[in-house]
Homo-oligomer: A and B are copies of this chain.
Amino acid sequence: MTATVHQLGDKRSPSLDPMIALTAADMNAVNAVILDRMQSKVALIPELAGHLIAGGGKRMRPMLTLASAALLDYPGTRHHKLAAAVEFIHTATLLHDDVVDGSGLRRGKRTANLIWGNPASVLVGDFLFSRAFELMVEDGSLKVLRILSHASAVIAEGEVDQLSAQRQVETSEEHYLHIINAKTAELFAAACRISPVVAEGGEEAEEALEAYGRSLGIAFQLVDDAIDYSSDEATMGKGQGDDFRDGKVTLPVILAHARGSSDDRAFWKAAMQGERISDDDLAYATQLINSTGALSDTLERARYYGRRAIDALAPFPAGRAKAALVEAVEFAVARAY
């Protein structure tokens, strides 16, 4: 139901365009809040925050807040501040992630920590995180505050969990799913759930949108992890093979390791320990991930979560907002092809 017929009669690829169009007016309001509230007399704060915030992100999470509100025909404006708070939390975690990973490239641009150093990235992240809570307090919903403070704690927990699992090639698929559920899907879920709270859509709507966001978030992260072994830097905006070189044990690695020969396993163990980081090693890893079916099965898992996300929208009536939310899922799982 989400594909439209183009002039040439071909089925167009799924895209974010319907969701972007659906939320465009609201997103202008959100962007105004973001620009206003990242200001500070301390010049380094807007300078550094602006680099990342203006840096070509898709605003996926605040867009989900806005689209969820549209699904419920919410007529108010409270979600603008809250969507900005969600983006601030996300930006703060990106700043800290790049410090943690020592990343030099994000969305095809040099990272803030590379330009301004780790100390500035840590502290501006803290500032944005605090500012997010100030925005929520201004809105005044304790329920929203509960959802997003809990999500923030879960995200940090997931990041520490990921750090502990780093370079551990024996990480189980279940443990991996637990990590990405915490570090990625929790904020997607929260971004979607806060709209039925302010729209007073009821518990069923809250749970349905939370389930939608959570499954979408997992699908999104699975595809992201697959892309690290399948795409080139230009499409990706992060260096291909970053996860590989950082010893991040993602699902493609877990599956390829589990399915591999004892030689393959020895390769993966050494690679995750940081002893195989050349371009040739990455090429070999990519070949193993393809030949074992690890890549295609990671993407199949992503499609499974994508179907769950779409099914979670069952309680809501058909319409433009629902179609946009469905197509956002299709876009998320199609990115790697």
Q: A interface vs B, CB < 8 Å?
A: 40-45, 92-93, 96, 99-101, 118-120, 122-124, 126-127, 129-131, 133-134, 136-137, 140, 142, 145-146, 149-150, 152-153, 155-157, 159-161, 163-164
Given contacts A99-B122, A100-B119, A142-B140, contact A149 B133 (CB under 8 A): yes
Give bound CA distance, A131 to B119, whole Å.
22
Asked if residues A153 and B137 are in contact (CB atoms below 8 Å), the reply is: no
Given contacts A119-B100, A122-B100, A163-B119, contact A153 B140 (CB under 8 A): no
Given contacts A42-B157, A140-B142, A153-B131, contact A163 B96 (CB under 8 A): no
Q: Is the interface of A mostly helix, strand, loop or mixed?
A: helix
Asked if residues B137 and A146 are in contact (CB atoms below 8 Å), the reply is: yes
Copies of this protein in the complex: 2
Give bound CA distance, A44 to B100, whole Å.
15
Select A126's contact among B41, B96, B124, beta carbons within 8 Å. Answer: B96
Q: Give 28 CB contacts A-B under 8 Å.
A: A41-B157, A44-B163, A45-B160, A92-B126, A99-B118, A99-B119, A99-B122, A100-B119, A100-B122, A101-B119, A123-B160, A123-B163, A124-B156, A124-B160, A126-B129, A126-B155, A126-B156, A126-B159, A127-B160, A129-B152, A130-B152, A130-B153, A130-B155, A133-B152, A134-B146, A134-B149, A137-B145, A137-B146
Give bound CA distance, A238 to B140, whole Å.
41
Give bound CA distance, A295 to B161, whole Å.
46
Give bound CA distance, A127 to B146, whole Å.
15
Query: Chain B residues near A161 (CB, 8 Å)?
Result: 42
Task: Give min CB distance, A56 to chain B, whole Å.
Answer: 24
Given contacts A142-B137, A142-B142, A145-B145, contact A160 B130 (CB under 8 A): no
Query: Chain B residues near A45 (CB, 8 Å)?
Result: 157, 160
Given contacts A120-B163, A140-B142, 12 further A-B contacts (CB under 8 A): A41-B157, A42-B161, A44-B163, A96-B126, A99-B122, A100-B123, A126-B129, A130-B149, A130-B150, A130-B156, A133-B149, A137-B146
Smallest Cβ-Cβ distance to A116: which chain B residue: B163
Task: Give min CB distance, A136 to chain B, whole Å.
Answer: 8
Query: Chain B residues near A93 (CB, 8 Å)?
Result: 126
Given contacts A44-B160, A160-B45, contact A122 B137 (CB under 8 A): no
Task: Give min CB distance, A151 to chain B, whole Å.
Answer: 8
The 8 lowest CB-CB distance pairs between A and B, nearest first, are: A130-B152, A130-B153, A127-B156, A133-B149, A100-B119, A126-B156, A42-B161, A123-B159
Task: Give min CB distance, A163 to chain B, whole Å.
Answer: 6
Task: Give min CB distance, A43 to chain B, whole Å.
Answer: 7
Smallest Cβ-Cβ distance to A158: which chain B residue: B42
Given contacts A42-B164, A118-B118, A160-B44, contact A127 B100 (CB under 8 A): no
Select A43's contact among B44, B119, B134, B164, beta carbons within 8 Å. Answer: B164
Query: Chain B residues near A126 (CB, 8 Å)?
Result: 92-93, 96, 129, 152, 155-156, 159
Query: Chain B residues near A140 (CB, 8 Å)?
Result: 142
Task: Give min CB distance, A122 to chain B, whole Å.
Answer: 5
Query: Chain B residues near A159 (CB, 8 Å)?
Result: 123, 126
